[in-house]
Amino acid sequence: MVSHNEGQGMDRHLTSYGDRGFSRFLRKAFLASAGYDAVDLDRPIIGIVDTSSDYNPCHREMPALVQAVKRGVLESGGLPFAFPTASLHEILIAPTAMLFRNLVAMETEEMIRAYPMDAVVLLGGCDKTVPAQLLAAVSANVPAICVVTGPMLTGSWRGERLGACTDCRRYWAHYRAGAVSEEEIEAVSQALCPTGGTCMVMGTASTMACLTEALGMMLPGGATPPFGTGNRLRAAVASGRRAVEMAREGLCPRDILTRSAFHNALVTLMALGGSTNAIIHLIAVARRAGIPLALDDFQAISDRVPLLVNCKPAGAGYMEDFDRAGGMPMLMKVLEPLLELSARTVSGKTLRENLAGATAPGAWQDTIRTLEAPLGGTGALVMLKGTLAPDGAVIKAAAASPHLLRHRGPAVVFDSAEDAATQIDARAEHITPDHVLVLRNAGPVGAGMPESGSLPIPKKLAAAGVKDMVRVSDARMSGTAFGACVLHVSPEAAVGGPLALVRDGDLIELNVPERKIDLLVDAGELARRRAAFTPPPLPERGWARLYAEYVQQAHLGADLDFLS
Ligand code: FES
């Protein structure tokens, strides 16, 4: 049996014909048809993962980025080979992009392993693409460098700056409350996404781009330049050049993704006021790297690091403001006393060396605050535990109404996201602002974990001015959303977690200062209900079936157990 892994460049991962010489001969013959000669085939091969797709408007400038990376590779003496993988657009894919994160991770990893490449440049952007590519990179462990499409520029409507998708949610809530007309919401829809690129608030895409830079998997300054700018193209060119050097050096993701790197990502996540989704993604990537990151690690950092970046939804600005203010290099300069500076990065330097030239924020800007004068306090993200979530749950306390952080109320239960969508207004007669809206069977096994955890306020209450209620679910919430939403309840209802046992009218108590979420039903009654519990059926076939059989719970990163 011939090894698949001997050699470099075109000699790498030879196709198995039982005769290495013949395999090489065939490879040369077919590449000759594409115009490659012996001079080309001596060079290091740099794979370029291209996730452009007509289905993914966030990636619509990716073809230009692929060309920019190719130019950088050629300038440094490498041979670029772009190849497609599946592309996940958060809004166009059903039932949720999260269901396919692990599929794209697996596809990307396998392609990196199967094709000859000495390094790879991963082009992503829209929410789940970047975590999928990080998972692939750490598992394949071939020299790898990440590039993103960059955030959209902001739009405007009637003189107000608008952006996806915090303002999408805000205006939709106004529309549901009757404060915005049919014509007005239509006009708003045309102003929310004025360019290609990713959502321009600190949602999941922006958070993951910034955390990829904090992890050391992206060149300094690569996370924030907006879509369509020269800075964005230059980041791609520089990444192509650097990938060739990394191929020669053999600097691999597992040299970079150490515990120090994850410490730095956690510190950055809190300072950004970033998405709760990042918790799941970072745990999954860390576990692939052999680092047992747990919810307690997030809490320990959340207790120490205040909110520093003034971007929606935790603040008021947008990613272009963050970029103009200095982006990640300036933020990490501010965070320097809290970071582990010996961490290696794709630049070939340590974080300390990368930050040596970065400057502290000047008074001319308002977006990146200092540790001495932060934008918000510590504890923006809180990890909860209790009888309703024995393995944990998460709340973005910074995005919740303060009066709901200690709350006790009767449950109103919805058995699925569809049930909630069709019934929430129909049941509004019986729902008060004190009720706790419970959504279940929306966890990893139950539904692939959609972003349905920020259930809408029932129309009747919204029209009466109610802006927030306690909501509890095993679902996720968009990083662009806000509200007193307890998310990622683990274990989820579909595997028999306590969430499956809640009935209408049961009292639920949320106590964020004490980090507790409890179901106030006595143990005997819960045992009776548990004995009667039957899990919902798994999907019958295909990826959804494989996923439901092997996916782990949210507190373990929702990775497939045989990949983790
Ligand atoms: Fe692509 Fe928001 S929909 S980043």
Provide the whole-model pTM. Answer: 0.96
Whose C-alpha lies nearest to ligand 1, atom 3?
Answer: 90
Nearest atom within ligand 1 for CA of residue 198? 4
The contacts of residue 418 (CB under 8 Å, 6+ apart) are none
Give 165-193 pLDDT, tens digit per residue.
Answer: 888 988 998 998 899 999 999 999 999 99
At 419, which helix (H) or strand (E)? Answer: helix 417-423
pLDDT of 2 > 50? The answer is no
Q: Is the CB of 320 under 6 A from ligand 1?
A: no
pLDDT of residue 11: 84
Q: Is the CB of 91 under 6 A from ligand 1?
A: yes
pLDDT of 12 > 50? The answer is yes
Are 383 and 299 contacting, i.e. CB atoms less than 8 angstroms apart? yes
Domains of the chain: 43-153+195-355 (3.40.50.2300), 384-537 (3.50.30.80)
Q: Is the CB of 468 under 6 A from ligand 1?
A: no
Kindly indicate the confidence band of residue 6, based on its pLDDT and cuts at 50, 70 and 90.
low
Q: In the chain, what percentage of residues exceed pLDDT 90?
A: 88
Q: Is the CB of 127 under 6 A from ligand 1?
A: yes
Centroid of ligand 1 to alpha carbon of 198 (angstroms):
5
pLDDT of 4 > 50? The answer is no
Give 111-120 pLDDT, tens digit per residue.
Answer: 999 999 999 9
Centroid of ligand 1 to alpha carbon of 94 (angstroms):
14
Q: Is the CB of 480 under 6 A from ligand 1?
A: no
pLDDT of 563 > 90? The answer is yes
pLDDT of 1 > 70? The answer is no
The contacts of residue 250 (CB under 8 Å, 6+ apart) are 143
Round to whole Å and give the CA distance between 393 and 296: 11
pLDDT of residue 198: 97
Average pLDDT, integer, range 430-434:
95
Q: Is the CB of 58 under 6 A from ligand 1?
A: yes
Centroid of ligand 1 to alpha carbon of 181 (angstroms):
26
Whose C-alpha lies nearest to ligand 1, atom 2?
Answer: 199
Give 121-179 pLDDT, tens digit per residue.
Answer: 999 999 999 999 999 999 999 999 999 999 999 999 999 999 888 889 889 989 988 99
Give 205-217 pLDDT, tens digit per residue.
Answer: 999 999 999 999 9
Kindly state the tokens that stand for 307: 């909110």
- Cα 226 vs. chain centroid, distance in angstroms? 18
Nearest atom within ligand 1 for CA of residue 56? 1
The gap between the terminal CA atoms of the chain, to the nearest Å, is 28
Angle between helices 327-334 and 259-272 (to 10 degrees): 100
